[in-house]
Amino acid sequence: MTRILSLLLLLTLAAPVVAQTNTIVYTLDHVWLDPDISHPWGSSPQLMTGQFEWTYDVGDFENGTGEMVWVNIPWFGSNLAEMIITIETGSMEFSLNGNWHNRGLDVNLKYVNAFTETSAAVIDTQLSSFDIEAGGIYQGHVTSGRIKPETELLLNVTGSCPDALLADVNGASAHGQVALLYSFGIGSFSIPNGYPCAGTVLGLNHTVALGTTLNANASGNASYSFHVPPQACGRVYLQALDLTTCETSTVAFLQ
């Protein structure tokens, strides 16, 4: 049954909404480079690894910016200062920064689908390629891999306010309870003593309140259908809290 998330009591206390940001860490997962052009018979595929951060304004994920935290490119190395790195939701490219003696770099990763806050991007093995010069020339294709978010507790809200919204929670403790919290701004509110998960720092501000508590199934999933009053559309932020592990999800913006 659809429930109603009552927000009217806090509307008069809400501060004006300002742009707030989230940052999610993504990992290069099973990205294998096969030098099948330059070494079709003589060199084995090598694993490319790394992590990057995607920072975005809440409600505007696609226009965020990416920054590589670390990377290890086969036959080339891990010196970020040497590289120009372009990170987008649909692709990633590594090239050489400046003129380096006997070194060249062009790694182009194209995705089948864009990565999101809660889902991985699969690398397109037909369109992705590399050309690396470092003591030798290595050219070929990317044979597998994906870009996956490292967030364990995932919150995804679908629908358009003020119509019915659906909050899906994944990655919670099996058969555990998940609190759905809301506020009228993002901040760093610490749950006070006397409450579950005391000391946990939320991504919400001091107007935080409990919307509802959900029971996760054996797979750690839970769903909640609700309406938001029209006056609150575009003003409310939602976050999930695993009451077993005290892990928090990223913050969703209800618009």
Domain ranges of the chain: 22-149, 152-254
Mean pLDDT, the chain, integer: 85
The torsion region of residue 8 among left (phi > 0), alpha (psi -120 to 50) and beta comes to alpha
Q: CA nearest 221: which of 240, 235, 202, 236?
A: 240
CATH of domain 152-254: 2.60.40
Q: How confident is the model at residue 89 (pLDDT cuts 50, 70, 90)?
A: very high
Q: What is the pLDDT of residues 21-32, one digit of tens each?
A: 778 889 998 999
Task: Write down the pTM of the prediction.
Answer: 0.62
Question: What's the rounded mean pLDDT across residues 117-144?
Answer: 91
List 22's β-bridge partners, or say none: 56
Question: How far apart are the C-alpha atoms of 119 and 112, rounded to whole Å?
Answer: 12
φ, ψ (nearest 5 deg) of residue 149: -75, 145
